[in-house]
Chain A
């Protein structure tokens, strides 16, 4: 239905225009303007200082670590670092906003224009513009399900540092939005500036969607607030695109609106507004001085940045000879790339890639865990590959050993010994096994010699069976060919 950004409506083609505002929780030990801790899942209202609860006379003091994380993220997004930025107050009343204002950056964010490069399924790349990144405080949480008539407020999250990362309206389909979000999350995780955990709310997304006829100016947009998974982002865009096209095609107009995604029904619906009139009365927070960065400090952070996914992918292709597709899969998650490199160290990189992406990912998928919880360590997977390389076991036997490693976590060499799986490389033993097989199937030998080449595989299978699969396949091949042609 949606391909190449074009959407077929009743009256012709439409184009979806999407911009994302991602709220990424900064990895730090303390909040943006207070020393309170930020552990996820702590008991309600136990991670709150008088500053977070906006008690009288309390003042914010910027957390240097959070600024550093924002700057590092900006550098990772190839963005302009603004050496002077300003914190503003965004004023509105809500019970989970203790001060009655959120400290944010309005006109002068810490990070300006940047970009994210997307790898598209057709192997092209797309560059998506980043408009800005700014630091702001998170609000607390209103709990409506604790009491029949009252709302409870948990301020643990109040004041936690968020980076709001705003994209240009460069995305053209739900699929692109999904790729963008995954890529952004991957960059944040590489940088260690946000754990990207959407279930825990450390990455949340506001989705701006509008539609237009191709080539025409932007249409009126609707903002879908607080979507908390990549899948929901994609679903909400698909739904919203359809909804807007239908309205326009039926002669209506789109009202600029804030909407919510109802995951259960897969639809978006208008949201109750925070305040009747949205006048946030932004002004510079007089409790905070402008944030001024030392250019040398920024350059030091730039020099210390880790290798990011795009660079790593290019290196995997050039240094390991992997295909771009394989490299792309391996670098998507930082932990996977690290794991792969440990497996590949000093070994056949393609074999390492195949084992990691094939057998290991299959198992992890089945177990529903990430590579950090892999039952097989990189070192042991490497050892398994070594056993193949030095002909101790065949590739076929290796699968069996791998299954055992998954089940027990044991060392592959120990499994080979314990189960007697060591490959037979004794030519004499294989010779006699071949002789027995050929003797038992004289008719088939005749047929083969008469030209039925297809029977070759049958003989190989019989020999392997006779040796319980332990015969060295290369040796079997050589000896079998000699005997059959002889």
Chain B
């Protein structure tokens, strides 16, 4: 097979091709290694690992030859550079982790390699996963492979898992893993026209993932199709005794849930998601999504999630609060960057001032403030209470419906630099995504259509805790109805 036809395969197709020996894992890895190089202008990768990819592919080929194939044998995957990978530079997109090569492998990546997957490299991201544009990385901004029709300005891929999303969209990775703290998988998936799944909190272990906001961080897959997400999620999931918040629940065969049958499924349409200033094209796509699901036999139900409007302010208290504490360990003492000073305090100050970018500093300051004596009750404690109410909103809704359909983001991709001057405008990107993080419920974003200027737009399906199966089943039906076949202006390999 030619490189371009190899790169056009979905993960599920590649698995079949490898099993049938239509091509080798080495061929597939080599094609992707080349694609990673071709895609360099996107700055999607911080650290490509081509040699490791070939070595892992060779091992996969040997197992395939012996008939001992593992579930993901030979599947090339890009890893958001927030996952610690043994002996491979791990930066979190930050200057402060300069030269950090962990002596350990994160649980999720370890599971992928144990399942036979091949590591293509580490992808770029917003510094410490803080952002919605993948422009705050010490390693420079990521470019979206998509461009607006008739406008050649580079666009952001969304964030924070923008490198992973751009790589998958540009065919510089067959699939990728990201993390989603306030929408960091789904919003870039929506901006880049791919599928992004944020599982239930506790489904995938956080062990070995550089922490941004511990109670909100969710590892998850980013893929070309819903089926690919289901396959990848299964390999990433499972109870991990090293993560106290990991759930001791069995891992279902998510792919088996993709029956295509959603007859009688009750789909909630929350009225509070019709926010002021939402572009008409997104509203229209949402209505279209409802019709697609209705046509497939589902039963749309108007519902209310009354606490929705408090989700964003709640998120921007809790996430920075946890971050301010999680990032205290970057002090120049044991690893990463150190800027010497005349005293220990000066060393801390110089190191952290030089090592953290503006957005990280902003959130550390906000977080420190909301936890301070005298402000704790008014901000952090109040936010925790509201969070409980937001989670209750979903529990109440799921007494009535089986899943919920909403837009993923209030806009399509924007130009690099367009919103950087206005943090609040940037934070508003997360308005539809943060409630699911606060509630910990599973949600998948599916590319559903194009904006008027030709950019992908996503719809998301939210489900009950640990009911990824329903979410995936509905998402696959949505995906089939939307028939999203558009390609970005930049791809590393040819079309189908």
Chain A residues proximal to chain B, CB less than 8 Å: 50, 53-62, 89, 91, 93, 95, 98-101, 151, 153, 279, 281-283, 286-289
Contact = CB atoms under 8 A, between A and B. Distances in A.
A60 B244 contact: yes
Contact of B334 (A53, A57, A279): A53
A57 B325 contact: no
B102 A57 contact: yes
Contacts of A91: 324-325, 328, 371
Given A56-B102, A281-B368, A101 B328 contact: yes
B344 A56 contact: no
B215 A57 contact: no
B175 interface: no
Contacts of B215: 286
B212 to A, nearest CB: 11
A91 B206 CA distance: 22
A61 B242 contact: yes
B346 to A, nearest CB: 12
B92 A56 contact: yes
A283 B334 contact: no
Given A61-B241, A283-B371, 4 more contacts: A57-B84, A91-B328, A95-B344, A98-B329
Interface in B327-374: 327-329, 331, 333-335, 344-345, 348, 368, 371-373
Task: Pick the 3 closest A-B CB pairs, nearest first.
Answer: A100-B328, A281-B371, A286-B214
A468 to B, nearest CB: 73
B344 A283 contact: no
B368 A151 contact: no
B374 to A, nearest CB: 9
A99 to B, nearest CB: 5
Contacts of A279: 372-373
B245 interface: yes
B325 A89 contact: yes
Interface string B81-97: 00110000010100001
B329 A99 contact: yes
Interface in B397-414: none
B126 interface: no
A118 to B, nearest CB: 36
A78 B368 CA distance: 39
B209 interface: yes
B210 A281 contact: no
Contacts of B331: 93, 95, 100
Given A91-B371, A95-B344, A283-B376, A59 B325 contact: no
A50 B83 CA distance: 15
B20 interface: no
A281 B348 CA distance: 19
B208 A287 contact: no
Given A91-B325, A281-B368, A98 B334 contact: yes
A59 B244 contact: yes
Given A99-B329, A101-B328, A283-B371, A288 B334 contact: no
B106 interface: yes
A151 B334 CA distance: 13
B373 A57 contact: no
Nearest to A101: B325
Contact of B242 (A54, A59, A281, A286): A59
Contacts of A282: 371, 376
Contacts of A93: 328, 331, 345, 348
A50 B376 contact: no
A289 B245 CA distance: 7
A29 to B, nearest CB: 17
A282 B335 CA distance: 26
A151 B345 CA distance: 13
B321 A56 contact: no
26 contacts: A50-B103, A54-B334, A55-B103, A56-B97, A56-B100, A56-B329, A57-B83, A57-B206, A57-B210, A57-B211, A58-B208, A60-B244, A61-B242, A61-B244, A91-B328, A93-B345, A95-B333, A98-B329, A100-B328, A151-B344, A153-B333, A279-B372, A281-B368, A281-B376, A287-B214, A288-B244
A278 to B, nearest CB: 9
Given A89-B325, A99-B328, A281 B372 contact: yes
Name the interface size band of chain B. 35 or more
Nearest to A276: B345
B380 interface: yes
Nearest to A92: B328
A283 B323 CA distance: 12
B228 interface: no
Interface string B369-394: 00111001000100000000000000
B329 A54 contact: yes
Contacts of A98: 329, 333-334
Given A50-B104, A56-B97, A100-B331, A286 B243 contact: no
A98 B207 CA distance: 18
A417 to B, nearest CB: 63
A283 B380 contact: yes
Contacts of A289: 244-245
Contacts of B207: 57-59
B465 to A, nearest CB: 15
B127 interface: no
A206 B345 CA distance: 26
A364 to B, nearest CB: 46
Contacts of B241: 61
A57 B371 contact: no
B243 A56 contact: no
Interface in B284-324: 321-322, 324
B243 to A, nearest CB: 5
Nearest to A51: B242
Contact of B102 (A55, A95, A153, A287): A55
B259 to A, nearest CB: 35
Nearest to B384: A284
A61 B207 CA distance: 11
A181 to B, nearest CB: 32
A286 B344 CA distance: 28
A279 B376 CA distance: 11
Contact of B325 (A53, A56, A58, A281): A281
A289 B248 CA distance: 13
Contact of A56 (B210, B245, B322, B371): B210
A7 to B, nearest CB: 35
Contacts of B214: 286-287
Contacts of A286: 213-215, 245, 322
Given A56-B84, A56-B102, A279-B373, A100 B325 contact: yes
Contacts of B243: 59, 61
Contacts of A89: 325
A299 B363 CA distance: 46
A383 B137 CA distance: 80
A54 B102 CA distance: 12
Contacts of A55: 102-104, 329, 334-335
Contacts of A62: 244
A287 B244 contact: yes
Contacts of A288: 244-245
Nearest to A155: B334
A2 B368 CA distance: 47
A54 B326 CA distance: 10
Contacts of A57: 83-84, 102, 104, 106, 206-211
Contacts of B211: 56-57, 287
Contacts of A54: 329, 334
Contacts of B104: 50, 55, 57
Given A56-B84, A95-B344, A287 B245 contact: yes
A49 to B, nearest CB: 10
Nearest to A93: B348
Interface in B207-243: 207-211, 213-215, 241-243
Contacts of B106: 57
Interface string B170-214: 000000000000000000000000000000000000111111011
